Amino acid sequence: MINDYIGKVVYSKAGRDKEGCFIITDVVDEQYVYISDGSLRKVEKPKKKKLKHLSVTKIVSEEIRDNLISGRNISNVTVKKFLQSVCTNKEVWLPYVKRRCNRNAR
C-alpha cells in the first residue's frame, strides 16, 4: 500500500513550492514522502513533505517507479523530462528562471 505512491505525480498544495509539479521518489511512513522535480529538488537530495500538503494524481511513471523500487538510480533529466511532458497546466520548477512580478498591480 505504501509503495503505491512511488512514481506518482503530485502537486504541492502548501509551502514555498506551492503548485509545483513533483514525483514521489520514496515513502518514509504514512504521513511523509520524498519528492523530486529533477531541477530544484534533485533526485540525490529530495524534499521531505507531508502527504496532506500534496495533491496526488493518478499519473504514474512506470519506468521511474520500477527503477526506484528495484534500487537502480534514476537521473534528474529523466524526472524533469517526464514532468515537463505531463505537467502542462501547472508550473514545473526550473532553476535560474527569473519570475516576473507585476509591480503596478497593487
Phi, psi of 9 (to 5 degrees): -85, 135
Phi, psi of 44 (to 5 degrees): -70, -25
Which pLDDT value is given to residue 9?
92
**What pTM value is reported for the model?**
0.78
- pLDDT by residue, tens only, the chain of 106 residues: 667 889 899 999 888 888 889 999 999 988 999 999 888 889 899 999 999 999 988 989 888 888 888 888 888 898 898 888 888 755 554 444 444 445 555 4
Which pLDDT value is given to residue 32?
93
Phi, psi of 16 (to 5 degrees): -75, -15
Rg (CA), the chain: 14
Angstrom CA distances, 91 to 19, 57, 66, 82, 104, stand at 7, 15, 26, 13, 23
Domains of the chain: 2-86 (2.30.30.30)
Q: Which residue has the cell 505525480?
A: 9
Phi, psi of 67 (to 5 degrees): -65, -40
Which pLDDT value is given to residue 48?
92
